[in-house]
């Protein structure tokens, strides 16, 4: 089975990468840390202009009617560029939930605005205590007691939760009395939303891991000890090779999972769980090797590498971390759903 990207998808990836190189280069991201929102509205506007916001939205609501595979490039490139915005929630989980679980009136009200980039959505599943980017999102979808409730931003009180990653914007939310409206099919759509969350978050981790390794290899080529580049030392080469192998294999698992999700394959859930587990383990190793290769300097505030190191550690714990996907994968195996 073929999981490679088409020529059109590769061209789209290139355009997204160029956008992030312009709008999310490290100096610009650092400049946002001390702003009120920590976000660059122009980045979101430009990304919407590429069509990324409309990829998952059905054509009848002004979208492209694409699939999770089409969005894989955006998620991987977001991880590679260390983009701080909650794009997984805004581009994949939120629009998919509304399309699957919303009423006709809700879909007609929200999906065209999402496709145009006018309306931004974020999501918190599984009783997660914090919501990413709630402060810049027009619509917040929360899982509550096995259902999905939708809130406008002004229907919520937000309390900032600080992270070791200064680019992260996380909030505890409290709904006003009588606020919000339920998505009628929310309960039935939650399993699919979690599956997309596992596969999509794994794609972000793959892009981030690849950038960690790229920066480490470049540093190993130029950093000299004993009149030799440190990349020539066997101990360094072996660690980089091991991490590269893990990231490469995990990347294949992620793309397979997104393909199964996009085609509504019966293996979608188990593939997404395994992809998330593999991606977390690969990122953990890439993170460790990057820090070792840089000799610790990469974690200093002045060095740009610390942005990827901290983001990686934060995302290891997000979206169920490692334990919850492993628990779910074990349950699927016990129930006899794992393919031979």
Q: Read off the pLDDT of residues 85-132 as tens digits, 9 standing for 90 and up.
A: 999 999 999 999 999 999 999 999 999 999 999 999 999 998 788 999
Domain carrying residue 328:
188-334
In a domain, 123, yes or no: no
Residue 337: the pLDDT is 55
The answer to whether residue 279 is domain-embedded is yes
pLDDT at 251: 96
Please check whether residue 194 lies inside any domain of the structure: yes
CATH number, residue 282: 1.20.140.10
Q: What is the pLDDT of residue 40?
A: 96
Cα separation, 40 vs 205, in Å, equals 22
The single-letter DSSP state of residue 128 is: -
Number of domains in the chain: 1
Label residues 164-184 b or e (16+ Cβ within 10 Å = b). ebbbbbbbebeeeeeebebbe
Residue 62 lies in a domain: no
**Within a domain: 99:** no
Q: What is the pLDDT of residue 1?
A: 55
- Residue 120 domain-assigned? no
Residue 79 lies in a domain: no
Low-confidence ranges of the chain (pLDDT < 50): 338-340
Q: CA–CA separation, 259 vs 264, rounded Å?
A: 8
DSSP-assigned states of every residue in 175-198: EPTT--EE-TTHHHHHHHHHHHHH
Sign of the CA dihedral running 103, 104, 107, 113: negative
- Rounded CA gap, 288 and 98, in Å? 38
100 CA to centre of own chain: 20
Which three-class secondary structure state does DSSP give residue 30? helix
pLDDT at 338: 46
Read off φ and ψ for residue 138, nearest 5 degrees. -80, -25
Q: Is 19 within a domain?
A: no
Give the relative orientation of helices 305-317 and 186-222 as an angle to the nearest 10 degrees: 150
């Amino acid at each position: 089975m073929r999981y490679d990207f088409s020529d059109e998808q590769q061209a789209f990836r290139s355009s997204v990468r160029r956008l992030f190189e312009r709008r999310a280069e490290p100096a610009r991201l650092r400049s946002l840390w001390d702003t009120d929102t920590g976000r660059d509205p122009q980045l979101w506007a430009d990304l919407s202009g590429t069509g990324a916001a409309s990829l998952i939205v059905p054509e009848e609501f002004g979208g492209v009617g694409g699939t999770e595979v089409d969005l894989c490039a955006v998620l991987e490139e977001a991880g590679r560029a260390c983009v701080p915005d909650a794009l997984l929630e805004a581009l994949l989980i939120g629009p998919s939930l509304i399309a699957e679980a919303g009423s006709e009136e809700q879909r007609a009200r929200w999906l065209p605005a999402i496709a145009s980039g006018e309306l931004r959505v974020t999501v918190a599943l599984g009783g997660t205590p914090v919501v990413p980017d709630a402060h810049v999102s027009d619509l917040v979808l929360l899982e509550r007691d096995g259902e999905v409730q939708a809130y406008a931003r002004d229907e919520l009180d937000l309390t900032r939760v600080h992270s070791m990653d200064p680019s992260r914007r996380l909030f505890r939310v409290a709904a006003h009395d009588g606020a919000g409206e339920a998505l009628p099919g929310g309960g039935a759509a939650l399993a699919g939303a979690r599956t997309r969350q596992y596969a999509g978050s794994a794609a972000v981790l793959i892009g981030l891991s690849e950038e960690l390794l790229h920066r480490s290899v470049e540093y190993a080529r130029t950093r000299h000890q004993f009149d030799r580049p440190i990349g020539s030392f066997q101990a360094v080469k072996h660690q980089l090779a091991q991490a590269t192998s893990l990231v490469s294999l995990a990347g294949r698992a992620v793309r397979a999972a997104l393909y199964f999700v996009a085609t509504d394959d019966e293996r979608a859930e188990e593939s997404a769980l395994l992809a998330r587990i593999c991606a977390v383990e690969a990122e953990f190793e890439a993170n460790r090797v990057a820090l070792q290769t840089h000799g610790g300097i990469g974690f200093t505030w002045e060095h740009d590498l610390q942005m990827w190191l901290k983001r990686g550690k934060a995302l290891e714990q997000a979206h169920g971390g490692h334990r919850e996907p492993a628990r779910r994968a074990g349950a699927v195996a016990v129930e006899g759903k794992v393919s031979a």
